[in-house]
Amino acid sequence: MLKNYFRIAFRNIWRSKGYTFINVTGLSIGFCICIFIFLIVYRQLTYDGFHKDGDRIFQTYLFANEPEKAERNTGMPLPLVPAVKAEYPEVEAAARVVSGKNLVEYKGKYFDKLITLTDPDFLQVFSFPLLKGNRATVLNEMSSMVISRDMAETVFGEEDPIGKQIQVGSEENKKTYQVTGVLEDCLDNSSVQYDALARIENLAAYPTAKDKWDAYMLTSFVKLGAGVDASALETRLKPFAVKYFPGEQERLKKKGARRDERGDLFALRLIQLEKVHFDTSLSGGKGAPIALVFALLGIALFILLIACINFINLSIARSFTRAKEVGIRKSLGALRSQLFLQIWGEATVICLTGVIAGAILAYLLMPSFNGMFQARLHPGALLQPGVLGMIGAVFVLVTLIAGGYPALRMARFNTVEVLKGKVSMKRPGVLRNSMIVGQFAMSALLICCTVIAVQQVSYLRQRPVGFNKEEVISIPVGRHVNGRMALERMRNVLLRDPDVLSVTGTGVNLGQGKDRISSRSILGFTYKDREVSSDWLLIDYDYLKTLDIKLLAGREFDPAYPGDSVRRVIITESMARMLGEKDPVGKVFQPEQHEPGFEIIGLIPDFNLYSAAGSAKPITMHISHSEPIAYIFVRVAPDHLTGAMDKLERVWTAVAPQSPFLGSFLDENVDAWYRDEQSFSQIFSIASGIAILLSCMGLFAIAIMIIEQRTKEIGIRKLLGASVMNILLIITREFVKMVLIALFIAIPIAWFAMQQWLDKYPYRIEINWMVFLIVGAITLLIALLTVSFQSVRAALMNPVKSLKAE
């Protein structure tokens, strides 16, 4: 019996090759999109979720109920963890973490590695697998170092790294460490990253900051004892904040801050590690808002739902062409359950084919997908149990609903009515029309979102960032050379080159260069009873000239004034407003009580230092002959851009042969600021394109079947004098109604959703009603063209042939 079912199923599928192709194509595309998005969502939802006892691991943060709005900060002072661990027995283990790239040397070879300084409790808090060494003792010594498997292979090759000594740091502060353990590489969906672990006491600032409670320089994690309630511990931590942060309490009181609903002005609080990634304010903007994750999941379900609607509609439509077959089988004694299993089996074969084709498509397109969206998906992820479970669940659901409903409906046909020819699809069903409306509503929604997202990205790109990013090349110095010496050598070589307009150095890159490194330093202090916070930016001479930033008042740094490199600064307008000074040039502010103050010598307009999407932050620029230069900026003459990069590479190779040349144009680096928005708009563009394609495929097939059912009607109308246009209007008006209803549903939802998305941007577009008008017109036109192609053919058919049609 089962063999017979399969034989009949394949025979029917082969007989209806056109509809089978549409169904398999739609389902495979839907499943392919679902697989990609499921992989992304799975990675996001499992972020930091792989640690043993993960429900007991928390990150600490400081809460301050500022008068303007509540602030949360994950930066912790060095003495906090030892104090918490000593005073609260509920804390089973605790670790401080601070990471940074550093130079590793072994046998004359150099490597840039991420060195994470932490406490011995790190391996008790986190469950990263230790491949070699004793978990309880590997970090006991100050010179101990635990390295990742990748670092062990890169640095030591086939050698056993245990017991080997390596040097870490630049020539000025190089330290020797002994390898005591090898850890498994950290996963890419981990908040804590490392190439190597060493003791926190090796931090350069440790001797001076180990007892300072106002130096917020690292992140801290605690693991609570079994059965300890985190909210109860937060309540017990209230006296701790009062005891160790009295200055913050007084500062907030002076500003007129009020206690929050939990009675706190300033408090030490906990957030579960698995939730940090979804809290963008605590993850430093590196995380993904949970709403965005579910929005991606919603897009995947939209696409799959549209494919399923096509499958259901086509199956129901085909059921009328197979009505006589079902009636004959029933009259010959076939049971309803047998008919259901046979028809549902056909649907299962089609769905299974769609899943397999979708998986193959996802596998083939994965490299392109990774390149387009800078994702880190790999083919092996398709075999993860969670991903396989999600794909399997979707397959079962689609098979049961999309295949089961048409099969059940066909199995329930009345035998007598079928054989009399009373079953037809001339009268539209509510379900079919509702699904077509749903398809086009989802397609129109995605198109509206796409257009608005693209407009916002375009607006951000065109909006001035406060400096001239064109014709400027950024060169990361790296850790193999002294940045200040490299800068001076570059200046000397390029001084007489007419193609080079200016050269400068800085501690912070603009945008994201080829080294993929970003750093930030913030200075906070009190000035005339005002709380001031500013980005602290190291620059060198000619910085303003190189970036074409105009002075509003005062002067630029000048080598003719030796004091400029000691205690003088240039500030932005936002910084002047924060100081409360309309004419700040000549004013002095004093961040440290026992240190000399800084004199303001220049005022410049605001510019974006870290992001173009956010508002410009206060910036204080200073010069220092002792702090390292990390990046060199070179402005090239506009008419000599061709070959400029090759020329600078040759100069760099001569100046710093031991450091690779990673130069890039500044405008390309700044483009990385729009990466999230660009990815967002790309996802919506692809999704909307696929959605409208699948909707039109389904609509085209439904139109063909409806026209086939109405062939004789069309012939009679033509004999009675109906024109081609009359017949075209009769056939298409039903579809036009459905598309208009879909637009009526989709447009308000799109407007509301995109308003919410745009509200997070300080600089944003205003949604123009013309967007919805144009999208509506395009959607209607596409639907009309889809239906009209077959409708015109039917309307032009010879009425004699139409009346002879069965």
How far is it, in rounded angstroms, from Cα 23 to Cα 697?
9
pLDDT-based confidence at 504, cuts 50/70/90? very high
Regarding whether 76 and 37 lie in a shared domain, the answer is no
Q: What pLDDT, in 10s, does the model give residues 383-398?
A: 777 777 877 887 887 7
Please indicate, yes or no, if residue 715 is contained in any of the structural domains: no
Structural element, H or E, at residue 130 = strand 130-132
Distances (CA, A) of 345 to 10, 310, 400, 402: 10, 18, 11, 12
Q: Tell me: pLDDT of 803 over 60.
A: no
The residue with greater pLDDT, 357 or 215, is 357
Regarding whether 141 and 4 lie in a shared domain, the answer is no
Please indicate, yes or no, if residue 681 is contained in any of the structural domains: no
Please indicate, yes or no, if residue 339 is contained in any of the structural domains: yes
- How many structural domains compose the chain? 3
pLDDT at 177: 95
Q: Which amino acid is at 60?
A: T
Q: Smallest Cα–Cα separation from 645: which of 500, 542, 512, 504?
A: 500
Q: Tell me: pLDDT of 452 over 70.
A: yes
Mapped onto helix, strand or coil, the DSSP state of residue 241 is helix
Lowest average pLDDT, out of 288-292, 440-444, 511-515, goes to: 288-292
Which two tokens mark 295? 């929005």
pLDDT-based confidence at 283, cuts 50/70/90? low
Domain end call among 276, 298, 328: 276
pLDDT-based confidence at 425, cuts 50/70/90? very low
Decide the pairing of beta strands 57-65 and 266-272.
antiparallel
How far is it, in rounded angstroms, from Cα 662 to Cα 645?
10
How far is it, in rounded angstroms, from Cα 657 to Cα 678?
37
Supply the DSSP symbol for 505: E
Q: What pLDDT, in 10s, does the model give residues 518-540?
A: 777 777 777 887 778 888 899 99
Mapped onto helix, strand or coil, the DSSP state of residue 672 is helix
Regarding whether 605 and 479 lie in a shared domain, the answer is yes
Q: Tell me: pLDDT of 131 over 60.
A: yes
Regarding whether 160 and 209 lie in a shared domain, the answer is yes
Regarding whether 634 and 524 lie in a shared domain, the answer is yes
Q: Tell me: pLDDT of 796 over 70.
A: no
Structural element, H or E, at residue 461 = helix 430-462
How far is it, in rounded angstroms, from Cα 198 to Cα 115?
7
Regarding whether 63 and 94 lie in a shared domain, the answer is yes
Which two tokens mark 54? 């993960």
pLDDT-based confidence at 146, cuts 50/70/90? very high
Ordered DSSP codes for 622-644: E--SSSPP-EEEEEE-GGG-TTH
Task: Report the pLDDT averaged over residues 312-337.
Answer: 65
Mapped onto helix, strand or coil, the DSSP state of residue 468 is coil
Task: Report the pLDDT averaged over residues 117-127.
Answer: 94
Supply the DSSP symbol for 46: T
Regarding whether 663 and 525 lie in a shared domain, the answer is yes
Non-local CB neighbours of 245 within 8 Å, separated by 6+ positions: 62, 213, 266
The residue with greater pLDDT, 130 or 657, is 130
Please indicate, yes or no, if residue 702 is contained in any of the structural domains: no
Report the C-alpha dihedral over residues 396, 399, 400, 403, rounded to 10 degrees: 180
Supply the DSSP symbol for 401: I
Regarding whether 225 and 79 lie in a shared domain, the answer is yes
Q: Tell me: pLDDT of 593 over 60.
A: yes
% pLDDT > 70, the chain: 85
How far is it, in rounded angstroms, from Cα 257 to Cα 251?
9
Q: Tell me: pLDDT of 440 over 70.
A: yes
Regarding whether 585 and 513 lie in a shared domain, the answer is yes
Please indicate, yes or no, if residue 786 is contained in any of the structural domains: no
Structural element, H or E, at residue 773 = helix 769-796
Non-local CB neighbours of 366 within 8 Å, separated by 6+ positions: 36, 377, 378, 379
Please indicate, yes or no, if residue 443 is contained in any of the structural domains: no
Q: Is the dihedral of CA 620, 623, 627, 630 positive or negative?
A: positive
How far is it, in rounded angstroms, from Cα 227 to Cα 56?
9
Q: Tell me: pLDDT of 428 over 50.
A: no
Q: Tell me: pLDDT of 359 over 50.
A: yes
Distances (CA, A) of 492 to 366, 539, 627: 47, 18, 20
Supply the DSSP symbol for 384: S
The residue with greater pLDDT, 162 or 705, is 162
Angle between helices 385-398 and 336-373 in degrees, nearest 10: 140
Q: Tell me: pLDDT of 358 over 80.
A: yes
How far is it, in rounded angstroms, from Cα 800 to Cα 719?
9
Decide the pairing of beta strands 57-65 and 219-224.
antiparallel
Please indicate, yes or no, if residue 490 is contained in any of the structural domains: yes
What is the rounded average pLDDT for all residues in the chain? 82
Regarding whether 202 and 331 lie in a shared domain, the answer is no
Please indicate, yes or no, if residue 316 is contained in any of the structural domains: yes
Supply the DSSP symbol for 67: S
The residue with greater pLDDT, 544 or 794, is 544
Supply the DSSP symbol for 49: T
Structural element, H or E, at residue 113 = strand 109-118
% pLDDT > 90, the chain: 26
pTM of the model: 0.72
Non-local CB neighbours of 663 within 8 Å, separated by 6+ positions: 473, 474, 475, 514, 645, 648, 649, 652
pLDDT at 237: 92
Q: What pLDDT, in 10s, does the model give residues 711-755?
A: 677 777 777 777 767 777 777 787 888 889 989 999 999 999 889
How far is it, in rounded angstroms, from Cα 399 to Cα 304?
12
Regarding whether 198 and 171 lie in a shared domain, the answer is yes
Domain that holds residue 163: 54-276
How far is it, in rounded angstroms, from Cα 433 to Cα 738?
7
Q: Tell me: pLDDT of 416 over 80.
A: no
Tokens 């696409």 sit at which residue?
303
The residue with greater pLDDT, 44 or 604, is 604
Regarding whether 232 and 320 lie in a shared domain, the answer is no
pLDDT at 399: 78
Q: Tell me: pLDDT of 245 over 80.
A: yes
Q: Tell me: pLDDT of 165 over 70.
A: yes
pLDDT at 320: 57
Q: Tell me: pLDDT of 147 over 90.
A: yes
